[in-house]
Amino acid sequence: MGQAPSSSSSCSSCRALSATAAVDSHAREGPAADHRDLTAALPDECVASVFALLGSDDRNSCSLVCRRWHLVDAKSRQRLALAARSEISPSLPPLLRRFSAVSVLSLKCSRKRVSLGDDALALVAASLPSLKKLKLKGCVDVSDDGLLAFSLRRPLALEKVSLIACGFGARGIVSLLRNCPSLRDLTLKRLRKLDAQSTPLSIDAYYDGDDDNEAKNANASKKEKKQVNFQLERLCIKDMHNARLFIPLLCSSKPLKSLVVCRSSGNWDRVLENLRFRGGGATSISEIQMENVQIGDPGLTAIAGSCPDLDTLFLSRVTDCFDEGLSAIASSCKKLRKLHIDAWTRFGGRTIGEEGIAALAAKSLRLQELVLMGVPITAPSLGLLASNCPCLERVALCNTDSVGDREMEAIAAKFGAVKKLCIKNCPITGRGIEAVVAGCASLVKLKVKRCRGIGQESVSHLRARRGGLVISVDAGSLVFDGADGGGGGAGSENEGGGDEEERRRRRGRRRDNAGDNRGGGPAGARTNATHVICSSRSALLLRSKFGSRNASRA
């Protein structure tokens, strides 16, 4: 549970009043003033501003100190998070009456437990007139009727709704869209009933709770079609498995500006093509994020044709996007400023290459941020980007063998405006890093991760040369030392979550011990050290395997 902070003026008046009250009371009563409540002179606004700086546990404890603090906490609390189990149903009405000023409500329940029902959700809408954000997670016992009852209360201030792993389908979601005029942000995640129903999310469909009377619903739909004030600006879809359900919703969402789709199966090329042809031409979408979905060049071409105002495009783990699709984006989306591409090839298949990068460099003149992961890019393509994109300030090149010292020298020679540069898992050496530090005059931050040819020693003198430059080097090397009991020390180091500096010292001591044993140590002293270059999640798996192997050998 959290709350919004008060203004700085109230805090300053808080300090002034507290200081004055303390001085006056000490001057009048001397030592006896230590037993008085000095906060009594503070106005409620100042006490509320102090409560806003506390964590949820401390704030809950402070609210029980006295009646005044209890009342101030109730009036000033903006965020409320509840375990939405059915056991709290009797306590919910007085709880909502106490915190009637709450604007952000989160109801979470484990799917293994019985959650709050439809009546509780209707009570939320009636008790919280200032509600702006609502999150329901794991509320499997809330049905379409509950969401319909909630939306019919017409919460005028409701702007953001997140529905995660709940038990309702299309009818409840459509009623929410129709009856909440201020709704701007909608997140749908793991709604299995919606997937199973296969009912498209059509804003023109009218549901009044009577599914049997289809003729009445159809007539009402015709009458009220023009009365729907649909203002959805952001739609986030995660872990859904029927892409075609969202075609009517996307086509009718004229004010939509941001579309986020993650780990959702289905043919999204067809969805985007329908957005282009059935949506009436150009849309107002300025941001699209596609992560681990089925999308290829037809989908990118549809985006290029329907989103001329596209500003941000994230493509992560897409397998079927090639040069043709990227060229279409570059040709039509002249306002593109941020582009992230994580090209995930299957079995050595083709991916975006030099042709797509050249088209991007030639036509995306406003580009400011470029992230390429798994995209083979060479010095000539980097030269084109530097020549045609003068506003390019943030560049990240990751997971490609084509980026070496030659490409780093090209960046140093031509990227005069770049301020932040990230190189990850590329075969570069200290020579390339030195060239970048010496050549990029505007560079303020350099980040190098999992590059085997780079270590802390190779860049230590560069920090002294450019004091204002922040250089972050992470070689990604983990040492599993057999002399430490089969890797037990490394395991406790990560599981304990100690200080980062302490972990560095421990790794340094292990490296020093390994060097002594290899060099001039006793003949009988041996150590079995394995260096692994990998990500953190993979490192945990490998550490456990190497540790168990070393323990068995011992």
Would you report the helix, strand and coil content of the chain in percent, each value rounded to 5? 45, 15, 35
Flag whether pLDDT at 552 surpasses 60. no
In this predicted structure, what is the pLDDT of residue 212? 45
Contact indicator for 533, 450 with CB cutoff of 8 Å: yes
The pTM assigned to this predicted structure is 0.75
For the stretch 491-520, pLDDT in tens is 333 333 444 555 555 565 555 555 544 444
Token representation of residue 125: 């809408």
Taking each helix axis from N to C end, the angle separating 536-553 and 488-496, rounded to the nearest 10 degrees, works out to 150
372 or 20, which is more confident? Answer: 372
Comparing 101-110, 340-349, 372-381, which segment has the lowest mean pLDDT? Answer: 340-349
In this predicted structure, what is the pLDDT of residue 16? 47
Average pLDDT (354-377) is: 93
In this predicted structure, what is the pLDDT of residue 481? 38
Give the model's confidence band at 521: pLDDT under 50 very low, under 70 low, under 90 confident, else very high: very low
Superfamily (CATH) of domain 78-266: Ribonuclease Inhibitor (3.80.10.10)
Q: Cα dist. 52→37, 48, 494 in Å? A: 20, 6, 33
Average pLDDT (150-163) is: 92
In this predicted structure, what is the pLDDT of residue 473? 87
In this predicted structure, what is the pLDDT of residue 412? 93
197 or 415, which is more confident? Answer: 415
Q: Cα dist. 258→187, 290, 299, 468 in Å? A: 12, 11, 16, 36
In this predicted structure, what is the pLDDT of residue 65? 85
Average pLDDT (95-117) is: 90
Amino acid type, 300:
L
In this predicted structure, what is the pLDDT of residue 325? 93
Average pLDDT (105-112) is: 90
Give the model's confidence band at 547: pLDDT under 50 very low, under 70 low, under 90 confident, else very high: low
Between CA 385 and CA 250 the distance in angstroms is 34
Flag whether pLDDT at 86 surpasses 60. yes
Flag whether pLDDT at 373 surpasses 90. yes
Q: Cα dist. 441→420, 433, 447, 448 in Å? A: 11, 14, 16, 18
Flag whether pLDDT at 209 surpasses 60. no
Q: Cα dist. 160→156, 255, 345, 382 in Å? A: 12, 15, 36, 41
Amino acid type, 210:
D
Comparing 13-17, 269-273, 371-375, 503-507, which segment has the lowest mean pLDDT? Answer: 13-17
Token representation of residue 259: 């579309």
Flag whether pLDDT at 203 surpasses 60. yes
The SS3 call for residue 398 is strand
In this predicted structure, what is the pLDDT of residue 537? 45
Contact indicator for 434, 460 with CB cutoff of 8 Å: no
Token representation of residue 439: 């050549």
Average pLDDT (26-37) is: 56
Give the model's confidence band at 445: pLDDT under 50 very low, under 70 low, under 90 confident, else very high: very high
Flag whether pLDDT at 133 surpasses 90. yes
Flag whether pLDDT at 295 surpasses 60. yes
Give the model's confidence band at 229: pLDDT under 50 very low, under 70 low, under 90 confident, else very high: low
Token representation of residue 211: 């599914």
Contact indicator for 161, 186 with CB cutoff of 8 Å: yes
Q: Which of 42-51, 240-249, 536-545 has the highest mean pLDDT?
A: 240-249
In this predicted structure, what is the pLDDT of residue 476? 52
Flag whether pLDDT at 200 surpasses 70. yes
Average pLDDT (521-531) is: 39
Give the model's confidence band at 303: pLDDT under 50 very low, under 70 low, under 90 confident, else very high: very high
In this predicted structure, what is the pLDDT of residue 63? 85
Flag whether pLDDT at 278 surpasses 90. no
Average pLDDT value for the chain = 79
**What percentage of residues in the chain have a pLDDT greater than 70?**
73
Token representation of residue 260: 């986020």
In this predicted structure, what is the pLDDT of residue 297? 93
In this predicted structure, what is the pLDDT of residue 505? 56
Flag whether pLDDT at 336 surpasses 90. yes
Paired residues of 397 in beta bridges: 372, 423
117 or 487, which is more confident? Answer: 117
Flag whether pLDDT at 531 surpasses 80. no
DSSP 6-39: --HHHHHHHHHHHHHHHHHHHHHHGGGGGGS-GG
In this predicted structure, what is the pLDDT of residue 553? 53
In this predicted structure, what is the pLDDT of residue 535? 44
Q: Domain map of the chain by residue range?
A: 8-72, 78-266, 479-553
For the stretch 390-429, pLDDT in tens is 999 999 999 999 999 999 999 999 998 999 999 999 999 9
Contact indicator for 402, 425 with CB cutoff of 8 Å: no
